[in-house]
Amino acid sequence: MTASTARTDTRPSPRKRAGNGAARQHDTDEIGLDALVGHAGYAVRRFQIWIFQDFIRTLGEVGIRPTQYSVLTVIGANPGLSQMAVANRLGIERARLVHLLDSLEQRKLVKRIKSKADRRSHALHLTAPGETALAKFKRLAAEHERHVEEKIGKANRQRLLRILAGFT
């Protein structure tokens, strides 16, 4: 083992870790993953956690989470959609979209307009402040995307998008 093992834990203590030589304690980076390596799902899960955390942190100043951002961009690009249409397009349950829209409507970013044609459904629109806010969100999201590039590389990010294009 190399003497300069990079510590991945965030313990602030400069002291040596607990543990004795008798019962051999594993260091974090010498624990094998065995079958987990080679499973795409595991890598994707870890990556998704990282990417969501960076997104949430980067857009933390405006208080927008990934799902909220996706709802806003779809409404912004397709004004007048019904809740069902948005839910289907984004793969969100319509029950869940209700709460998401409640929050966004409370923040005056989105408005539900009762449809004349189908009085069951609501036509979704961005408010005027919602439009300007979304523009700012997009700038921050682009900044987040640059973080992704720094993390995995510009070319790899492009490969990733191409590989997963079928899921959007």
Give the footprint of DNA on this chain (CB under 7 A): 11, 13, 15-20, 22-23, 25, 45, 49, 53, 65-68, 82-84, 87, 91-96, 98-102, 112, 118-122
DSSP secondary structure of 104-126: HHHTTSEEEEE-SS-TT-EEEEE
Binding at 83: pick from a copy of itself, DNA, none (beta carbon under 5-8 Å per type):
DNA
132 binds, options a copy of itself, DNA, none, Cβ within 5 to 8 A by partner type: none
> CB neighbours of 104 closer than 8 A, spacing ≥ 6?
68, 71, 72, 110, 130
Residues 11-50 binding a copy of itself (CB under 8 A) are: 11, 13, 15, 18-20, 22-23, 25-26, 28, 31-50
CA angle 125, 104, 90 (to 5 degrees): 70
- What is the C-alpha to C-alpha distance for residues 29 and 14, in angstroms, rounded to an integer? 18
Which partner in DNA, a copy of itself, none is near 119 (CB below 5 to 8 A by kind)?
DNA
The nearest distance, CB 104 to a copy of itself, in angstroms, is 16
CB-CB contact of 81 with 75 (8 Å):
yes
Query: Which DSSP letter does residue 88 get?
Result: H
- Hey, what are 77's tokens? 């690009």
Per-residue string for binding with a copy of itself, 125-144, x by CB under 8 A? x------------x--x--x
Residue 28 binding: pick among DNA, a copy of itself, none (C-beta 5-8 Å cut-off by kind) = a copy of itself
Q: Pick between residue 105 and residue 131 the one whose CB is nearest to DNA.
A: 105
Residue type at position 71: V
User: Minimal distance in Å, beta carbon 127 to DNA?
Assistant: 16
Shortest Å, Cβ 141 to DNA: 14
Among residues 112 and 147, whose Cβ is nearest to DNA?
112
**Which run of H or E residues covers position 63?**
none
Say how far apart CA 16 and CA 27 lie, in whole Å. 12
